[in-house]
């Protein structure tokens, strides 16, 4: 069941999510960490002028929930901007919700850069 149904289902979802992220964030500084079989994408916004926590708060107000990257780097006491430039987003939602959420993420990321300019 896993090989014939579950894996192909989520492989299709991640491919669509990656395509939509690339479309919506075109022209911005971002990277997608290689998807390796979970139901999450890691997005890295190099030099993002706000923290991933601030981005989370903005997105939350618009009905989009992500996980700020800072929670995945426990024990790192020195300043390391990368931990505040990453988010984890799920691609398990239905396609319509996922596409709408990615669009909102892109809008808020672009807004952060516009405000810093």
pLDDT at 51 over 90: yes
The mean pLDDT of 26-32, rounded to a whole number, is 94
What are the start-end ranges of the H helices in the chain?
7-24, 52-61, 95-116
Query: What are the pLDDT digits (tens) for 71-94?
Result: 888 887 778 888 899 999 999 999
Predicted local distance difference test score (pLDDT) of residue 99: 97
The pTM of this model reads 0.92
Contact of 35 with 41, CB cutoff 8 Å: yes
The mean pLDDT of 3-27, rounded to a whole number, is 92
Query: What are the pLDDT digits (tens) for 89-101?
Result: 999 999 999 999 9
């Amino acid at each position: 069941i896993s090989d014939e149904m579950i894996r192909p289902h989520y492989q299709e979802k991640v491919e669509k999510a990656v395509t939509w992220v690339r479309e919506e964030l075109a022209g911005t500084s971002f990277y997608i960490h290689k998807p390796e079989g979970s139901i999450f994408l890691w997005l890295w916004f190099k030099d993002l002028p706000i923290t991933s926590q601030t981005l989370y708060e903005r997105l939350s107000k618009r009905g989009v929930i992500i996980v700020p990257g800072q929670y995945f780097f426990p024990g790192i006491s020195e300043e390391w901007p990368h931990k505040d430039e990453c988010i984890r987003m799920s691609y398990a939602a239905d396609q319509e919700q996922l596409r709408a959420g990615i669009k909102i993420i892109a809008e808020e990321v672009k807004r952060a850069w516009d405000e810093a300019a």
